[in-house]
Each structure stands twice: as structure tokens, then as C-alpha cells.
């Protein structure tokens, strides 16, 4: 049924870069046979899923939304891919994304944008717009995203779906193509809080293949999602995430959510996090710096595209020609920015200062979580904007992640879930819930209570 739905609507939505029809049907048959043999089935047996094209899939193309990986077929599965297979999930295909997960609209994909199922002329968010659009257009009931600065939560917000950025280290990064390694985190996307929890539990947990993976029990997210409640909970409203630049309808729905939480028995308190207004600036030094280093591996020798290899050019020339053709404008902008920020003489002024801001943001969270159990804010300042509107204005594009970035810098957990439609445009608004590190279960407890 889901493959038929993809066939019927994905020409318009363009959520998928690759649909693995044969593989999905083979997996489905294998699950059926297992059942017939009376074997124990995985926890998500037979449930179809859309996988962001940043996770390696053995024998299935993985492009990361870039031309530079053209023709590359990974020889191995990412840990997330492997865990999905072990849970008997049916992987329908690979979803569209901004190139190397750099963007907030999926317009930076080398393979064309994805439409927002609520209005195909608008963006579905990014970088994981393909995953969120696949959910909102009912092409898949579950999807996987990655969140470096908001790429799970912002697409969830603008498509009316649920997305969770787990605690950094909660879900393995092995086989997840690296953008900014100290920020990148894979996580679940779904249409309900409980669905997200069921998926979270399958993909999370320690992995010796990822040196930053946390070796502790996975927070009890499913139990929390089944027992939603905020009675007696202390909830902080982030004071800095309001005011200029926030759409009226977004604030209206957010304020209604605050009232609902109060009615359900939560104690609401306004919390100031004074360093959060510097998060965007710090992020746009740290993320490009790490990306300039991570993307050095795309040298035309190891993977995918190779341009100008005609026997007359040096390896350096082939590398330069390949990178010039294989990378898009946003990726090049970030590699240049990052290389500059890391260069000797500038390192302390840029990268060093950004790391200090990161510490201040961590301290803001620590102080906040001494007083409250979770923090809340709008996920993103506006609803889905029209395709093309911010494409030539990187600064305007970067603002979409204003409220999501502090969590990545500090490494704690956050969720976006729908909280109604903005009256002025009828488009979905996202409520963000932020929890301390390894308290991911609180997101689900609160999310399930207000869903």
C-alpha cells in the first residue's frame, strides 16, 4: 500500500531520491516467512520506513543529496540501518535532503527540492525535508532524520509531524555521513509521539563503532509515551525565543500550548537563557569548521564522482575539478568559511570564541534545568515559507534554526510536535520541548500529554 502511495504522489512531492521497491518487497516477504515459521519477530516487524539518504545502506545508493557521491554504492550498513533491519522494519527507500544536511529547506539538494505536502509551493523544512514530507503525505508511517542544528525538528514543525533529536551520543553515528561530528545526531520522525518513541527505542543505545556513543541504558521513552502527563512538572518558557521575527500565528499557538500545559497541571515559569542569542553565530563557525575537515575526504579518489581523470592531470587537479563540479554553492560556502575560521592566526578569534560561547550555552541549560524539568519554545519562528523565498539569502535561511541550535551545541535532547495551524496561513506550527541530556523520556512524557 505504501509503495502504491509513493507511486501515486511522489512525482509531485519528491520526498524520495531512491525507492527500493524490490528490496522492500523482499524484506516484507522475509518477515511473512518468519511469521509463518513461528520465529520471533522484531519489535517493528513489517512497518515501512523512509530513511534519510545520509545513512549508508549496503547495496543501495547513498548520495547525501550531493553529486559528489554519484555512483557510490556503500559496501556496508550504518548502525541505524542495521538496527532497523534487525527490528524487521521495511526500508522503502532513501529520502531527499539538503546537500550534506546543510540547509533548512531541502532546496540545497543536488536533485531538486521537495514540496511541503500541505502546500507544494512551500518548503518542507530541511535538511530532512524528504523524511518529513514522506510522513505528511502518508508515503511512510515512520522515517529517520539527522539533526545538526534542527534538521529533524524544523522539518517536523513545518509539516505537522513529530521529530526528536535524541541526546548527543544516544543514537550511533556509525555509517551516518559526517557533517559536523560534535553536533550531528540521528533520530526518529513519525506522525505521533508514541510512534516516534517506538522507533527511538529501536535505533538508540550504545554502539562500540561510534566513540562518542553513550554506554548507558536507553531512557524509557516508550513507557513515557504511553504515560503522558505533566502533572506537577516544572516547565520553563524560554524568554529569548519570542518577539521580533516570530510570526503572530506561531506565537498564538505556542501561547495556547503554554495554557494547555498549565491546565494539565504543570507549573509554568519564564526562564531566561541570555547566551542563546549568540548560538546561531557560534553554530555557523563550529559547523562549517567541522564540515571543512570532514568533507576533505571527498577527494575524487575514494568515492563517487571523478572529473578530468584523462591521464594528463595530476591527482590534485582531478581533486579540484571534482570538488568544483561535485559540491553545490552552500557546501562550498561552508568549506571556505570553516577553512578560514580554522586557519592559523584566526583560529582563536573565530573557532576558539565559538567554543567559549558553546560553554556559556551549556551553562544556561544547566542553570535552567536546576529550576525546571523541561524547557519549551516554538520550534521555528515561522511556518513553511515559499520555495525560492530564502534561496539566495543564506542569513534568512539560517534564522529558521534559531530556536533549535542551542540544543545541538549543548548536546541535550529535544522534540518538535504539532500544536495547531497558524490562523493567517493554515500551516502547521511546531512546539519544541527541550530536556537535559539522557532525559529523553521527559520529551515523550510531555509530548504525549499535549498531543
Active-site residue 151, yes or no?
Answer: yes
Nearer to ligand GLN, 20 or 99 (CB): 99
Active-site residue 165, yes or no?
Answer: no
Residues of this chain that bind ligand GLN (CB under 6 A): 101-104, 127, 147-151, 179, 287, 401
Of residues 66, 104, 105, 127, which has the active-site annotation?
A: 127
User: 430 and 419 in contact (C-beta within 8 Å)?
Assistant: yes
User: 128 and 146 in contact (C-beta within 8 Å)?
Assistant: yes
In the complex, the smallest distance separating the C-beta of residue 150 from ligand GLN, rounded to whole angstroms, is 5
Nearer to ligand GLN, 48 or 163 (CB): 163
In the complex, the smallest distance separating the C-beta of residue 283 from ligand GLN, rounded to whole angstroms, is 7
Secondary structure of residue 137 in the 3-state scheme: coil
By CB neighbour count within 10 A (0-12 exposed, 13-18 middle, 19+ buried), where does 193 fall?
Answer: buried
261-264: long-range contacts (C-beta < 8 A, 24 or more apart)? Answer: 261/230, 261/235, 261/376, 261/446, 261/449, 261/450, 264/229, 264/230, 264/231, 264/449, 264/450
In the complex, the smallest distance separating the C-beta of residue 390 from ligand GLN, rounded to whole angstroms, is 11
In the complex, the smallest distance separating the C-beta of residue 208 from ligand GLN, rounded to whole angstroms, is 25
User: 280 and 302 in contact (C-beta within 8 Å)?
Assistant: no
Nearer to ligand GLN, 2 or 334 (CB): 334
Of residues 131, 134, 151, 172, which has the active-site annotation?
A: 151
- Listing DSSP states for 84-110 in one string gives HHHTT-EEEEEE--SGGG--SSSTT-T
Nearer to ligand GLN, 137 or 151 (CB): 151
In the complex, the smallest distance separating the C-beta of residue 22 from ligand GLN, rounded to whole angstroms, is 30
Nearer to ligand GLN, 235 or 337 (CB): 337
The pairing of strands 374-378 and 234-238 is parallel
C-alpha cell at 184: 550531528
Active site residues: 52, 127, 151
Amino acid at each position: 500500500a505504501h509503495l502504491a502511495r509513493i507511486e501515486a504522489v511522489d512525482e509531485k512531492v519528491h520526498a524520495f531520491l531512491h525507492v527500493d521497491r524490490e528490496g522492500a518487497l523482499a524484506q516484507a516477504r522475509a518477515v511473512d516467512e518468519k511469521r509463518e515459521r513461528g520465529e520471533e519477530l522484531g519489535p517493528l516487524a513489517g512497518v515501512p520506513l523512509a530513511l534519510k539518504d545520509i545513512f549508508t545502506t549496503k547495496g543501495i545508493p547513498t548520495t547525501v543529496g550531493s553529486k559528489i557521491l554519484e555512483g557510490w554504492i556503500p559496501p556496508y550498513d550504518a548502525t541505524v540501518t542495521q538496527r532497523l533491519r534487525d527490528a524487521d522494519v521495511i526500508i522503502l527507500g532513501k529520502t531527499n535532503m539538503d546537500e550534506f544536511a546543510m540547509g533548512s529547506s531541502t532546496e540545497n539538494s543536488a536533485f531538486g527540492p521537495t514540496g511541503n505536502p500541505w502546500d507544494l509551493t512551500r518548503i518542507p523544512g530541511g535538511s530532512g525535508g524528504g523524511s518529513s514530507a514522506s510522513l505528511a503525505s502518508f508515503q511512510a508511517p515512520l522515517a529517520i532524520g539527522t539533526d545538526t542544528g534542527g534538521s529533524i525538528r524544523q522539518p517536523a514543525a513545518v509539516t505537522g509531524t513529530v521529530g526528536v533529536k535524541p541526546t548527543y551520543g544516544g543514537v550511533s553515528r556509525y555509517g551516518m555521513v559526517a557533517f559536523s561530528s560534535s553536533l550531528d545526531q540521528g533520530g526518529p520522525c513519525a506522525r505521533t509521539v508514541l510512534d516516534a518513541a517506538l522507533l527511538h527505542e529501536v535505533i538508540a543505545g550504545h554502539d562500540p563503532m561510534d566513540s562518542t556513543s553513550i554506554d548507558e541504558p536507553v531512557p524509557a521513552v516508550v513507557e513515557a509515551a504511553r504515560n503522558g502527563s505533566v502533572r506537577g512538572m516544572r516547565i520553563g518558557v524560554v524568554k529569548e525565543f519570542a518577539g521580533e521575527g516570530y510570526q503572530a500565528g506561531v506565537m498564538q499557538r505556542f501561547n495556547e500550548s503554554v495554557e494547555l500545559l498549565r491546565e494539565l497541571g504543570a507549573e509554568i515559569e519564564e526562564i531566561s537563557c541570555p547566551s542563546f542569542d549568540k548560538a546561531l553565530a557560534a553554530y555557523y563557525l563550529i559547523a562549517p569548521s567541522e564540515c571543512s575537515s570532514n568533507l576533505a575526504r571527498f577527494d575524487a579518489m575514494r568515492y563517487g564522482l571523478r572529473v578530468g581523470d584523462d591521464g594528463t592531470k595530476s591527482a590534485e587537479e582531478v581533486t579540484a575539478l571534482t570538488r568544483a563540479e561535485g559540491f553545490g554553492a552552500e557546501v562550498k560556502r561552508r568549506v571556505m568559511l570553516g577553512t578560514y575560521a580554522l586557519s592559523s592566526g584566526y583560529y582563536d578569534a573565530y573557532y576558539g570564541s565559538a567554543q567559549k560561547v558553546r560553554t556559556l550555552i551549556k551553562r544556561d541549560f544547566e542553570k535552567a534545568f536546576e529550576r525546571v524539568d523541561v524547557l519549551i519554545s516554538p520550534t521555528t519562528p515561522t511556518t513553511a515559507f515559499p520555495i525560492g523565498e530564502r534561496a539566495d539569502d543564506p542569513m534568512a535561511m539560517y534564522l529558521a534554526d534559531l530556536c533549535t541550535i542551542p540544543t545541538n551545541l549543548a548536546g541535550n535532547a529535544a522534540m518538535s510536535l504539532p500544536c495547531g495551524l497558524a490562523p493567517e496561513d493554515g500551516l502547521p506550527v511546531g512546539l519544541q520541548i527541550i530536556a537535559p541530556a539522557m532525559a529523553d523520556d521527559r520529551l515523550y512524557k510531555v509530548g504525549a500529554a499535549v498531543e
